[in-house]
Amino acid sequence: MKQEKSESSAYDPKLVECSIYKEWEKSGYFNPDNLPVKKAAKPYVVYMPLPNVTGTLHMGHLLNNAIQDVVIRYRRMRGYKALYLPGTDHAGIATQFVVEKELRKQGISRFELGRDAFIKKVWEWKEKYGGLILEQLRKIGVSADWSRARFTMDESYTKDVLKAFVEYHKKGLIYRGLRVVNWCPRCGTSLSELELEHKEEETKLWHVKYPATDGGDGIVVATTRPETMLGDTAVAVSPKDSKYKALVGKIIILPIQNRKIPIVADDSIDPLFGTGALKVTPAHDITDFEIGERHKLPMIQVIDERGKMTEAAGKFAGMKTDEARVAVLNELKKLGFLVKEEPYIHNLAVCYRCGHTIEPIPSEQWFLKMSARGGSALGGKGLSQMAIQAVKSGRVKIRPKNFEKLYLDWLSNIRDWTISRQIWWGHQLPVWFCKNNKEKFVVSVEKPKACQFCKKCEMEQSPDVLDTWFSSALWPFAGLSKEDVKKYYPGNALITARDILNLWVARMIYSGIEFQKKVPFKDVYIHGTVLTKEGKRMSKSLGTGIDPLKYINEFGADAARFAAIWQATGQDIHWDEAAVMAGRKFANKMWNAAKFVISNCEGAETVKKPAGKTAADKKILAKLAAVKKRAEKNIESFELSVVLKELYDFFWHDFCDEYLEVSKMQLKENGTEKTTREILTYALFESMKMLHPFMPFVTEAVYQKLPKKEKKFIMIETW
């Protein structure tokens, strides 16, 4: 008996969420063009951070998309043409890596397949798994306009990407050059600085003597990478360093190679580190490369793109770098040049994707100029200055404010962006080389009909592809059709975690200004990262991840959303499951309170602004008005957890615990019965509306039970 009762009275999200979502989607109201809004209604656009095609839903998505959905649902109810723009990112290296791994299980390497066949495999993968993440996002209840969903390698998107490249090039912002770049020998590509990870490595600092040619003492250098000495073309010391002053300009001998190299003075040298003398390997260290440019030093490449020693390494040729290190050290020891070794901990750069050690090697790459600008088309201001200006002037507001500093600091110390990648999956550069003269090329979206250089060859496209972020940087407008750009660009809000503030947000800002002359959005809101309860990173490989679908399936999307937003106070979240339970209970509370109100208020007048008679009436109405006002202010400044807590407190304690209990008496008395019913109906309705952005399903379910409703969905009710 008891059990029967509890079963029938509890709210069961499983019974309603799926069908409600289908109804919403069928209605077409996720598409702002279908909303019953006034002609003059303003658009409000939230750009969804593009999930990777390879991705599956994790807690970060739950938090990120829940926040965005609250914002967009609120604006929709406020009468805006609310557009929540979804899409997926081809995620170059990440996707290629996953597909390669899958193929390797079958014993196939991408090189056996060849480029075209491999890319076909990736597309197959994309077709199979690319839609999965979007399906999973629907489970959260996000009201994105799926009819506008784009993929960064869609035909039209690709065209915008290539056009952007051509235009940058025309303006002199893209150039090609031989640079020492961070190279991952396993992935076979260059990586930008943001794609590196550093891990501490216990190693040694070896002191190696480079003997003099004039009978002097020579000089001792300290290094963590002795194998690169084979490519040394100088030794550098600080110009302020008195102990070496006399040596500057002298020629010394590079051991093993027996090469004569000079000692140069350079400001980048710290006289206090090691011996105060740096071996300069322009081909295998970015700083050394720069020193080499300043002193016009030759560059000798001793490590190749597979991470093996080249012919220039003499008898070490063919060895892997770590083998060569041992061999070189043995040789130095034998020859008596290894004077000292001391334990040392340094930060080893590794590939963010595969973890392989990064080898800086010289390579032809394409760059996007960050600070200076060739022409004066835009007042000579470089991309980074434009992005800095956008935030400093307040046209883009970053919240919380301390992230502004992170953004500005990064942009003001920026190097040119290496935008080419030597992988296969991505937008191939719109660069066409003459087959007979590989130095000659044309930059053009379409393949040139004839070669303008040799007049006879079929021009060949560069095998390089663009960095993934080059294309996602265009998302705010390349993700929209031409007509939509007119209607919906610029958008309003970009909500994301801090890890891609510079990787993505900064680049969207200057791309938007460069190509559309306007910043892409006004508000950037950075939320915390979801960690485990112990404060550890959630990751599949560590086994510390939690699948949000588990919560959604078991306790409902509303409960999961509640938990995410409840905990999203700005700091990183140490995820506490108890919050999901609280959300589930809250949904149940709403459901039951609604049941009470509906059954007691049949036929009650719907009054727009009921006036209270009793003290309890007045108290609840005043409180409701105050809560509503604060909710508006706080949602508009992205303080969602504050709003949710106030709504929770208001609904549970003020409305249910207090007013509902008082109403039981008031409903029995003739003098107060009518107004009580009006207020109950009104307060319930208003509460459901305010809670709808946060917990859309249960509030919609309640709305559908209301005897008098003006709209088809609470989703499009007027706040």
Partner RNA sequence: GGGCACAUAGCUCAGUGGUAGAGCGCUUCGUUCACAUCGAAGAGGUCCAAGGUCCGAUCCCUUGUGUGCCCACCA
175-194 binders of RNA (CB under 7 A) = 193-194
Smaller CB separation from RNA, 335 or 542: 542
DSSP 393: T
Q: How far apart are CA 234 and CA 290, in angstroms?
A: 13
The CB-of-100 to RNA minimum distance in angstroms stands at 25
Assess 371 for contact with RNA (CB under 7 A).
no
The CB-of-640 to RNA minimum distance in angstroms stands at 12
Region from 39-47, 389-397, 464-472, 570-578 binding RNA, contact rule CB under 7 A = 570-578
Which one among 70, 85, 222, 691 touches RNA, defined by CB under 7 A?
222
Which one among 538, 652, 674, 712 touches RNA, defined by CB under 7 A?
652
Smaller CB separation from RNA, 169 or 225: 225
Within residues 93-122, the interface with RNA by CB under 7 A covers none
Question: Within 346-455, where are the H helices?
Answer: 383-392, 402-412
Q: Which two tokens stand for residue 216?
A: 């002097």
Region from 296-304, 369-377, 526-534, 698-706 binding RNA, contact rule CB under 7 A = 526-534
The CB-of-205 to RNA minimum distance in angstroms stands at 7
Within residues 59-98, the interface with RNA by CB under 7 A covers none
- Residue 496: which of 505, 486, 507, 487 has the closest Cα? 505
Within residues 125-144, the interface with RNA by CB under 7 A covers none
Smaller CB separation from RNA, 376 or 413: 413
Region from 32-40, 306-314, 403-411, 678-686 binding RNA, contact rule CB under 7 A = 403-411
Smaller CB separation from RNA, 87 or 274: 274
| Dihedral pair phi/psi, residue 286, rounded to 5° | -65, -40
Smaller CB separation from RNA, 175 or 410: 410
- Residue 660: which of 599, 577, 576 has the closest Cα? 599
- DSSP H or E run through 1: none
The CB-of-474 to RNA minimum distance in angstroms stands at 22
Smaller CB separation from RNA, 171 or 574: 574
Q: How far apart are the first and last CA of the chain?
A: 41
Smaller CB separation from RNA, 446 or 534: 534
Within residues 598-617, the interface with RNA by CB under 7 A covers 599
Which one among 78, 171, 395, 574 touches RNA, defined by CB under 7 A?
574
The CB-of-567 to RNA minimum distance in angstroms stands at 6
Which one among 587, 684, 690, 706 touches RNA, defined by CB under 7 A?
587
Within residues 456-485, the interface with RNA by CB under 7 A covers none
- Residue 690: which of 678, 702, 676 has the closest Cα? 702
The CB-of-243 to RNA minimum distance in angstroms stands at 12
Region from 56-64, 222-230, 460-468, 693-701 binding RNA, contact rule CB under 7 A = 222-230
Q: How far apart are CA 427 and CA 464, in angstroms?
A: 8
Pairing status of strand 397-399 against strand 417-418: unpaired
- Residue 572: which of 527, 524, 539 has the closest Cα? 527
Half-sphere exposure of 300 (CA within 13 A, CB side): 20
Which one among 132, 248, 286, 319 touches RNA, defined by CB under 7 A?
286
Question: Within 82-185, where are the H helices?
Answer: 92-105, 110-113, 115-129, 132-140, 155-170
Quickly tell me which residue has 């031989």 as its tokens.
178
Smaller CB separation from RNA, 346 or 487: 346
Strand partners, 359: 183
Contacts with 43 (C-beta within 8 Å, 6 or more apart), sequence order: 32, 80, 81, 82, 83, 487, 488, 491
Assess 202 for contact with RNA (CB under 7 A).
no
Assess 585 for contact with RNA (CB under 7 A).
yes
Within residues 253-272, the interface with RNA by CB under 7 A covers 268-272
Smaller CB separation from RNA, 493 or 559: 559
Q: How far apart are CA 108 and CA 460, in angstroms?
A: 27
Region from 96-104, 387-395, 425-433, 656-664 binding RNA, contact rule CB under 7 A = 656-664
Assess 276 for contact with RNA (CB under 7 A).
yes
Print the binding letters for residues 618-647 with RNA: x by CB under 7 A, - otherwise.
------------------------x--x--
Which one among 163, 204, 320, 346 touches RNA, defined by CB under 7 A?
346
Smaller CB separation from RNA, 11 or 157: 11
Give the burial string for 228-260 (b: 16+ CB within 10 Å, else e): bbbbbbbbbbbeebeebeebbebebbbbbbeee
Residue type, 249: G
Print the binding letters for residues 494-523 with RNA: x by CB under 7 A, - otherwise.
----xx------------------------
Assess 352 for contact with RNA (CB under 7 A).
no
- DSSP H or E run through 68: helix 59-77
Residues touching RNA: how many (CB under 7 A)?
77
Assess 412 for contact with RNA (CB under 7 A).
no
Tell me how crowded residue 403 is: count the other CB atoms within 10 A of its CB. Answer: 17
Q: Which two tokens stand for residue 539?
A: 């990751």
Q: Which two tokens stand for residue 500?
A: 């891609």
Smaller CB separation from RNA, 102 or 661: 661
Q: Which two tokens stand for residue 310?
A: 């080249």
Which one among 409, 554, 605, 636 touches RNA, defined by CB under 7 A?
409
Q: Residues 651, 628: contact at Cβ < 8 Å?
A: no
Smaller CB separation from RNA, 113 or 194: 194
Contacts with 662 (C-beta within 8 Å, 6 or more apart), sequence order: 614, 616
Assess 234 for contact with RNA (CB under 7 A).
no
Which one among 533, 629, 705, 708 touches RNA, defined by CB under 7 A?
533
Which one among 260, 405, 438, 708 touches RNA, defined by CB under 7 A?
405
Assess 226 for contact with RNA (CB under 7 A).
no
Within residues 26-45, the interface with RNA by CB under 7 A covers none
Within residues 540-569, the interface with RNA by CB under 7 A covers 567, 569
The CB-of-71 to RNA minimum distance in angstroms stands at 19
| Dihedral pair phi/psi, residue 275, rounded to 5° | -100, 0
Q: How far is CA 535 from CA 74, 366, 529, 544, in A?
A: 32, 40, 10, 10
Assess 2 for contact with RNA (CB under 7 A).
yes
Half-sphere exposure of 202 (CA within 13 A, CB side): 1
3-state secondary structure of 504: helix
Give the burial string for 551-562 (b: 16+ CB within 10 Å, else e): bbeebbbbbbbb
Which one among 20, 50, 277, 644 touches RNA, defined by CB under 7 A?
277
The CB-of-374 to RNA minimum distance in angstroms stands at 24
